Structure 1
Amino acid sequence: MIHTCGLTRSFRAGVETIEAVRGLDLDIEAGSVVAFLGPNGAGKTTSLRMLTTLLPPTSGTAEVAGHDVLTDPSEVRHRIGYLGQGNSAGSNFRVGDELITQGRAYGLSRAESRTRAERLLTALQLEGLTKRTVGTLSGGQRRRLDIAMALVHEPELLFLDEPTTGLDPHSRVGIWEHVLRLQREFGTTIVFTTHYLEEADRWARRVMVVDHGRVIADDSPENLKADLAGDRIILGTAGRSDAERAAELARALPTVQEVIADGTQVRIRTPHGDTQLPVLLRNLEAVGVRAVTARLTRPTLDDVFLSLTGRTLRESAGATAHPGA
């Protein structure tokens, strides 16, 4: 569905040249749900704008839905839907009219546009709002309308750029439930950008971690957390000697990635904490060492980003974004 090779985009900032996207190589299969996760300025939006033909690459190639973004952009546009960070629908127009106009722009008949509009409004829980002016909708309703406009021509591929930014948590969950229900129904490929860790973790089947214009990790959320961050086991013991003995036993366990003894506490990192913790507790009991406390914590995608870059995603988000956000 998407194939890129060495895709790069540079911007001029005074006398400086900034590479917003650096040598992006992608292979995304049909039906995938893929998240680009990274801080503001990482290159997520620039990548999507190149893949949707809105921004030409400086170098490299990109093929989307079987067509080259540079030599065949009109064919690409007819096969994709795109939801940018702004609102797509005009504030002074009626909801139903906006959707019908969008369908007509993609070559659908008025009757077919109306049929699809009604179906999408029902699916996105906007039924009954057909004659409402867009400007009177709530933030969540307006974002759902934007999604309907991106889907009215039934695209093979849907690009969503920060689709829930500015919405409250309840509205954000609602947006994703609607989008993925439609994805299951039509088999649409979805590529989205986000800096919300929980969205990438919960909704994506594949996460590409982006930093300074490069993809620095690419896997399922579960594999990224297990392989790059790992579960954390924190043991509290009665004394330093017990902690040192516990650390020694922990290091002997298979797949343990890191063991740190700090006073009476031992911190252990492993991809399989749920199976390793009971084994470790039994081994401690066998040698007469008692764990006063034992706690298992699961990693987050922020832990993955920290493992890869030495900083958290939230820390990175505070930095000033360059033109290739």
Structure 2
Amino acid sequence: MREAMFYQKLEDNKVKCYLCRHECVISDGKTGICAVRENKEGTLHTLVYGKLVSINIDPIEKKPLYHFLAGTDTYSIATVGCNFRCEHCQNYEISQMPRDKRRIVGEPFSPREIVRDALANECQSISYTYTEPTIFFEYAYDTAKLANKEGLKNIFVTNGYIGEEPLRTIAPYLDAANIDLKAFTEEFYRKICGAKLEPLLESIRLYKKLGIWIEITTLIIPDLNDSEKELRQIAKFIKSLGEELPWHVTAFYPTYKLMKTPPTPVETLRKARKIGLKEGLRYVYEGNIPGTEGGNTYCYKCGELLIRRYGFNVLENKIEDAKCPACGTEIDGIGLK
């Protein structure tokens, strides 16, 4: 166990945690909503430091990041735990384990070992992913600082609910993030995720302001967040941050507590992509359905096919010096070739 960052001591041995937007007030002997930060006699501890539950080498497109170090591998790590309780979580076995099973597991792995292993496997980045990286902030922060010194990039795959001070603290070492914008109604966030929409939007704005490269993902779930009105609201919000920000609209498959909800039709993804492009976004991608036209990158000026993908695999990349070879338009992103 290690003392946590970003908390305030209160009366009666209570503490207030400022790591995420929940800002939990935690009594002695209890944990916050994430179930991995525990108050012990007035001192808040992280219960997951140095405990990896998942280690993989992934194509960076799996995060998904399509405009950041395209075609490279990323060293992906996670601990158990999450500050959301999404009913459609695809990694619920590890994200919800501390709540559902009251267990915290993981193999001991130091930040230095993570960086050393990432370099040995010729990865260009480390992704803090699978569960919510915010809840293992101290572990991610120590790792990110070491990775930065070794020339590795750092990536959060996140629900975006991090607090302002923690985000500003890790920003100098955080190069990119894929942020879930799961819906655009308070009702969805309250009922399906156990959170609020507006604090998330504030975090996304801050990510952009701090100069971190961001891409947005919306998992489209039939009858929950797939109306044309809501998809248009999401597209407009992203456009308000910058037309260069990629939007990934991805297909839902039944899982966890939404087993009776049907998969997302391909037609719904096509509709969402058209909405995003019509609202002025330069890059909108269809995800979780390999082989569709919407998985490729096109020049937003002339329409030239630039990066051809099948699933997470880059089959062809025509970008030259970050520009379209057909018309010379600069293509937004980092490390596209």
Which has more strand, going by share of residues? 1
Bigger radius of gyration: 1
Higher relative contact order (CA 8 A, sep 6+): 1
TM-score normalised by L of structure 2 = 0.30
TM-score normalised by L of structure 1 = 0.31
